[in-house]
Structure 1
Amino acid sequence: MAEEAPGPLAVPSGQEVRYLDTVQSAPGPEGLTIRFRFVAPAIARDTGSVDAETAQADMEWLCTNFALPRLPAGGPVPSQIVVSLSDRAVAFGEPAPEVTQFFEAYTVADGRCVWEAF
């Protein structure tokens, strides 16, 4: 589905964010969910410079500018897009308490990402 993005993505905070992968094999609580995962070292709890609020704006930007254009043109429409940032690459679904991770969920309405509170 989503191809590898070349180099860092230019998110609003200016932090370096790199595309990791897309997961669509694990359903979410609302049905079909497509997860776009990114590595963002600047969110690290001990050495990072980007807080959760700033990262939230970056995740919304990633949903709108990265995830939406990469949704499948045909087939079922996902009920949710989840954008996640982690300070380093981790395997999907495996516990990693030492890793800082932020997640935001969105529905797609009128071609826009609409934030959904977890």
Structure 2
Amino acid sequence: MSALFLGVVKPALAIDVPSGQAIDLQEVLVEELGGETWLRFRFIAPQIATGPDTIAYDLAAPDMEHLCAAVALPYMTEHALAGQVIVVSLADRPVEFGAADPDATQYFEAFRAQNDTCIWEGL
């Protein structure tokens, strides 16, 4: 497994998502896995942390689909990236890729880009 770090990308404005939570793009990684190119769009979403005002998975899932369509697809076009799998992840805090953090809350979804649309793959 090899990953290529493309860089930290911070949007100029907050990213609007269906749940209304605050989202920031942490990084984009390109990885060759099983003969396919995986593009990992890693976002920080502090409101998914455990607590009274938690954005639970059922509310965050539409956010991940939206982030695939509104952020990942345009980013791929802008940076001339091609990939078979797009993984959108949300974490309540920055976590190094591949590192375990039992205190972090993280959600993941996989998509395939088809006709400028994100098709849910499920993980």
**Number of matched residues?**
117
Task: Please state whether the residue corresponding to 2:23 is helix, strand or coil.
Answer: strand
Aligned alpha-carbon RMSD (Å):
2.1
Q: Which amino acid aligns with 2:84?
A: S
Unaligned runs of 5+ in 2: 1-5
Q: Post-superposition shift, 1:80?
A: 0.3
- Indicate the residue corresponding to 1:39 in structure 2: 44
Task: Please state whether the residue corresponding to 1:114 is helix, strand or coil.
Answer: strand
**1:29 and 1:60, CA in 2 relative to 1: closer, same or farther beyond 3 A?**
farther
- Indicate the residue corresponding to 2:25 in structure 1: 19
**1:7 and 1:75, CA in 2 relative to 1: closer, same or farther beyond 3 A?**
closer
- Indicate the residue corresponding to 1:106 in structure 2: 111
Q: Which amino acid aligns with 2:61?
A: Q
Q: Which amino acid aligns with 2:121?
A: E
Q: Post-superposition shift, 1:74?
A: 8.0
- Alpha-carbon distance in structure 2 between the residues aligned to 1:75 and 1:37: 19
Unaligned runs of 5+ in 1: none
Give per-residue Cα distances to partners, 1:55-88, cap 9 Å, x unaligned.
Answer: 1100000000000001156867311000000000
Give per-residue Cα distances to partners, 1:16-53, cap 9 Å, x unaligned.
Answer: 011101011x3345610000010001101235421101
**1:19 and 1:90, CA in 2 relative to 1: closer, same or farther beyond 3 A?**
same
User: Which structure is higher in strand share?
Assistant: 2
**Equivalent residues of 1:30, 1:79 under 8 A apart:** no
- Indicate the residue corresponding to 2:82 in structure 1: 77
- Indicate the residue corresponding to 1:92 in structure 2: 97
Structure with greater contact order relative to length (CA < 8 Å, sep ≥ 6): 1
